[in-house]
Structure 1
Amino acid sequence: MDVIVIGCGASGIAALRKLHDAGLKVMGLEADERIGGRIRTIEYGDCHLDLGAAWCHGEKDNVVFELANPLGLLGRPDPDNKWYLLSTGQLVANELSESILQAINDEVANAEKNNTESIKDCVRNAAKNNPTLKKNPQLAKYFVEFFEKNSHVGGESDPKLGKSLKGLEECWGCEGEFMLNWKGRGYRTILDVLLKKYPDPSKQISIPIHLKKEVETIKWRTSPSSADANNPLVHVSCKDGSLYAAKSVIVTMSLGVLKERYSNLFNPPLPAEKINAIKNLQLAVLDKIYIDFTKPWWPKSPANFTILWTDEDKKKLGNSWVTEIVGLYSVTQYPNMLLAWIYGEAAIKMEKASEQEVKTEINKMLELFFKKEFKVTPVKNILRSQWGSNPLARGSYSYRSVANEENGGSAIVLSEPLYHANHFPVVCFAGEATSHHRHSAVHGAIEAGFREADRLIASLKK
């Protein structure tokens, strides 16, 4: 075997495709019972819902767009119809709301990035000093809290874990439409494209991918003088007792899984700089709650409700996790459905609640916000993601933290392979967290998979 790819999410599938096309003997090991990783598309009614990645974010220099758009797979959204609501049920004028949000965004955009400061500190200082925000201090406070949750700035329990300002410069966006949808097919379509299953299933490439193969150890020789010097292969052992060997491996496990397992997973242990990167980079927990109503009650679609919690209403609900929900948005292809987002520690609490408890809390939120201005129809069903508690993910996407700026570590460090003494890359690292400038996105994951495949193709050809 030339290469074993560990983890068959978008990055792993991308690496397998490129290695296969180069004529190498490859195999994928996936701990889950399905491929896709944090792409998880489920069938619901006549269409599909994405519990993980859902939109192709941008066009220029976006490998997902380059793969999918020529096949006519991507749809463009219609302009949103926006409402801004306090938890008292009172509507806030769009012009006022957007001026406050613009002031917050401007403060972050114009802030000095070459430092160790967090985004949270930036916006909280803005609330005290920005002229627009000082005009309406109470309303500005609610919008600052919304911004923090909507931008997933983190640092709730430990400021060092918050998103850094410098990270905004390191992670590059792609120009063009940010919310390109999959026309009801779901993001898993990109996996079919990578495997050449779409548009013609008869042309699907044949790559051995073994499911339910949770890897326990990755062992390799480090130098000609080591005890196993005569065996240059890397050896992979799985929880079910199966063993595999190859010239090299590509590890695409999520950053959250690496955090939990790196000390036992690699033999010999990882170098200090790699461990430092794993510890200081962070993985955000961002969850979705799909709310399916008996019929739509909002005046127009696409609907975009920004919801602003007052301190009094948070207390009324006992500071429940539901008070951390920041918005409700209509769902393409599902006219009866709204999507709620929840982040961080509140998302973890939501994940631990039963489905009935989630439905009860959602109904409390709907009653508070919409009883005055809208006539809400009954909730028929609730579907949610649970990325934080998923042992094969432990979160949703990676980001650069304040700890990175203070202690070092980056996506670039995380992506660096481990080499044999002859400079052959024996253990490579891919996955979205290793994308140098497009971490947090599927296109970054695919880009990283292609990067490591190209590295090994060049090395093996030598």
Structure 2
Amino acid sequence: MKCCRNLSKAVSAAGQQQCILDSCSIGSSCQEPRVIIIGAGMAGLSAAHRLTQCGIRNFLVLEAKERPGGRIHSCWLGDAIIEMGAEWIYGACLPNSIYTLASQDRLLQTPLPRLDSTKGLFCTSEGRAIDLPVTITAYHTFRQIEQQAANLFRLGCERQHGTLLNFVGLRIQQELHNFPEDQRYDAARVMFGLTNILRNKCGDDLSLVSADQYGSYIELPGGSVRVPLGYVGVIAPLLRGLPDNSVRYNKAVNVIRWGQGQTGPGRVLVKCCDGEELTADYVIITVSLGCLKCQADKLFAPPLPVCKLDAICNLGYGLSNKVFMEYAEPYWVCHEGNLKLAWSAEELQCRCDWTRGVCAVDEMPGSKHVLCAWISGQEAAMMESLAENDVAEGLTCLLRKFTGNPCLPYPQMLLRSRWALDPHFCGSYSYMSCCSTVSQQCELGTPIPGPCDSQPPILLFAGEATVPGHFGTAHGARLSGVREAERIILLTKKFEGPPR
């Protein structure tokens, strides 16, 4: 029996050892390359964590802000945990590495409460709630139209279908003829309200979104779930695994000198805004597409190749903001407070009023006092520049108008995201514009020098915008960070150390 127990312990220990040793690990005798990772968002931290897992600890993560997470930013307002950025795990299933991260740290509830996009009343600007039967039929009709738009990419249609706005708008007008005449007005309101919600999903005006490329996004199964104690929790296991002092905060980068632009020691020189200069063998750039659009011409010396700059220029980059309103006394019944704004087509054509960008006002899960207004596109940018009192005034007038209740109170506290004004993000997430192609997403994620060059890569690019099919998501950002870490690991194995 003693022998069996010892054998059992030995097998168990061997199994644990096999689990700990990653097949991609570099040998202990292998000299580690020096790596700099720019950005401590999901992509940057995932890259750092993967390097650590595989035995490369000679890296620094430079984060311009005072906190980790990037576009993941959780905080408290009253009795609610609110998400200023990423809100949902899109695709609660094993192929989603964000879902598995959250599950490993026991951050998710069981059973999983999934997003129900059908919840909430559609109300018109006349202060009238649309009848439920009309709402349900119009809702399902719109979802069919959206699916038809997505199918354009999968079918590989040769004919160009133009903008998503034109495609959806035309199909709505066609489908309205299938409604009884006395229901068409309300059905149109519901479907154009859903068009505004779709606009929020893309982050920009649908007249700028490609109908033919819309379906290139891959929707994972499993529905969408929130992290009850804050999305920021998913980065905790990544941070825990990193070497001490490997992440530096308030460390913005001024210029990256690479290739012929770097004449001193090291393959690349990173100059920080505080004057510090750092050298490395590889740099992983995880800044947002918005930052690249605004700063690529100043950030890199020499400039990036034309094909990379074209990809940066042509890929779409949107803006979605949230305004959180806390009320001392809620004026809604718990779980019954979601409101969808059933704008008319004519109202949506006039974008002079920033509140036209508001598509919905939702209850915050787990809160009895906080509502969240969703706003996107140029109206979201307009909102960012307003004083807080003006935002509270505009949203209160909007709620009074759509509910038909002039007595609704003002919020006692207001918090809002301002992603466009933040120079470290310059917006929210990428989308496929009318100038975008999947090959440009691949180009954005291609290292420099590229795979056809004799010289090993110096600059590596990660972030949600570099991942075809999973752009605009946290799991896309994570995939990209791991991808670039794996690239460095394979190169380190190939050269048995730093590149040469």
TM-score w.r.t. length of structure 1? 0.88
C-alpha RMSD of the superposition: 2.7
Q: Are 1:400 and 1:410, in contact at CA under 8 Å, matched by a contact in 2? A: no
The one-letter code sitting in structure 1 at the alignment partner of 2:435 is A
Structure ID, larger Rg: 2
What secondary structure sits across from 2:103 in the alignment? helix
> How far does residue 409 in structure 1 lie from its aligned partner after superposition?
5.2
**Could you say which residue in structure 2 is the equivalent of 1:357?**
390
Q: Which residue matches 2:274?
A: 240
Name the structure 1 match of 2:67.
Answer: 34
Q: Judge conservation of contact 1:274–1:409 (CA < 8 Å) in 2.
A: no
Q: Does the 8 Å CA contact 1:87/1:313 hold for their aligned counterparts? A: no
Structure 1 stretch 213-222 or stretch 144-153: which is displaced more? 144-153
Report if aligned partners of 1:294, 1:377 keep a CA contact under 8 Å in 2. no
Alignment partners' CA distance in 1, 2:348 and 2:314: 32
Q: Aligned partner of 1:181: which letter?
A: R
Q: Report the counterpart of residue 305 of structure 1 in structure 2.
A: 339
User: Could you tell me which of 116, 128, 140 is aligned with 1:90?
Assistant: 128
Alignment match, 1:249: 283
The one-letter code of the counterpart of 2:172 is A
Residue 132 (structure 1) shift: 3.3
Corresponding residue of 2:192: 145
Match of 2:165 in 1: 120
Q: Distance in 1 between matches of 2:423 and 2:297?
A: 16
Q: How many angstroms apart in 1 are the aligned matches of 2:424 and 2:245?
A: 22
Matches within 5 A, 1:198-237: 205-221=243-259, 228=263, 231=265, 233-237=267-271
Kindly state the Cα deviation for residue 319 of structure 1 after the two structures are TM-superposed: 4.7
Write the mapping of 1:420-459 to structure 2, written as runs, cut at 5 A: 421-459=453-491
Q: 1:41: how far off?
A: 1.3
Contact 1:123 1:144 in 2 (8 A): no
Equivalent residue number for residue 77 of structure 1: 113
Aligned to 1:388: 420
Q: How far has the Cα of 1:81 moved from its partner?
A: 4.4
Q: Distance in 1 between matches of 2:52 and 2:146?
A: 44
State how far apart, in whole Å, the 2-side matches of 1:232 and 1:267 are: 15
Cα shift at 1:6: 0.5
Question: In structure 1, how many angstroms separate the alpha carbons of the residues matched to 2:399 and 2:245?
Answer: 48
Partner of 1:129: 174
Shift of 1:323: 2.8
Match status 1:103 vs 2:141? yes
1:177 deviation in Å? 2.2
Distance in 2, matches of 1:193 and 1:313, equals 46
1:186 is aligned to 2:230: yes
Amino acid across the alignment from 1:8: A
Show CA shifts across 1:284-307 (max 9, x none): 100001111122222341642111
How far the C-alpha of 1:362 sits from its partner, in A, is 1.2
Task: State the match for 1:199 in structure 2.
Answer: none
1-side partners of 2:262 and 2:77: how far apart? Answer: 55
* C-alpha separation in 2, matches of 1:352 and 1:379: 19
Cα displacement (A) at 1:419? 2.0
The alignment status of 1:327 with 2:372, answered yes or no, reads no
2: distance between equivalents of 1:279 and 1:134?
46
What's 2:449 paired with?
A: 419
Measure, in 2, the Cα distance between the counterparts of 1:292 and 1:64: 29
| Shift of residue 139, structure 1, vs aligned partner | 3.2
CA shift, 1:168, in A, is 2.8
- 1:441, 1:227 → 2: CA distance? 34
* More displaced stretch, 206-215 vs 328-337: 206-215
Structure 2 partner of 1:274: 308
Does structure 2 conserve the Cα–Cα contact (< 8 Å) formed by 1:167 and 1:399? Answer: no
In the alignment, is the contact (CA less than 8 A) between 1:108 and 1:122 conserved in 2? Answer: no
Q: 1:245 to 1:128 in 2, by over 3 A?
A: same
Partner Cα distance (1:3, 1:227) in 2 = 16
Q: Percent of aligned pairs with the same residue? A: 27
What SS does the aligned partner of 1:404 have? coil
Q: Distance in 1 between matches of 2:37 and 2:262?
A: 26
Q: CA contact under 8 A between 2:430 and 2:465: conserved in structure 1?
A: yes
For 1:40-72, what per-residue CA distance to the aligned partner results, in whole angstroms no more than 9, with x for missing partners? 112334553211112211123211001111332
- Aligned AA for 2:268? V
1:168 aligns with 2:214: yes
Distance 1:108 1:49, change over 3 A: closer
**After superposition, what is the alpha-carbon deviation per residue over 1:218-239, rounded to whole angstroms, capped at 9, x for unaligned?**
11226xxx984x8551111112
TM-score, normalised by the number of residues in structure 2:
0.82
> Runs of 5+ in structure 2 lacking a partner?
1-32, 495-500
Q: Secondary structure at the match of 1:269?
A: coil
Secondary structure, counterpart of 1:188 in structure 2? helix
1:281-337 deviation digits (Å, cap 9, x = unpaired)? 11110000111112222234164211123589889x995211321111111121111
* 1:200 corresponds to: none
Deviations 1:232-253 (A, max 9, x none): 5111111221100110000000
Contact kept in structure 1, 2:268 and 2:281, CA below 8 Å: yes
After superposition, what is the alpha-carbon deviation per residue over 1:148-199, rounded to whole angstroms, capped at 9, x for unaligned?
321125764x94xx22123333211210021x1222x211111112123xxx
Distance apart, 1:438 and its partner CA: 0.7
CA distance in 2, matches of 1:127, 1:347: 25
Measured in 2, the distance between the counterparts of 1:401 and 1:314 equals 20
Q: Is contact 2:48–2:485 with CA below 8 Å preserved after alignment?
A: yes
Q: Distance in 2 between matches of 1:129 and 1:436?
A: 32
Q: Is the 8 A contact 1:294 1:378 kept in 2?
A: no
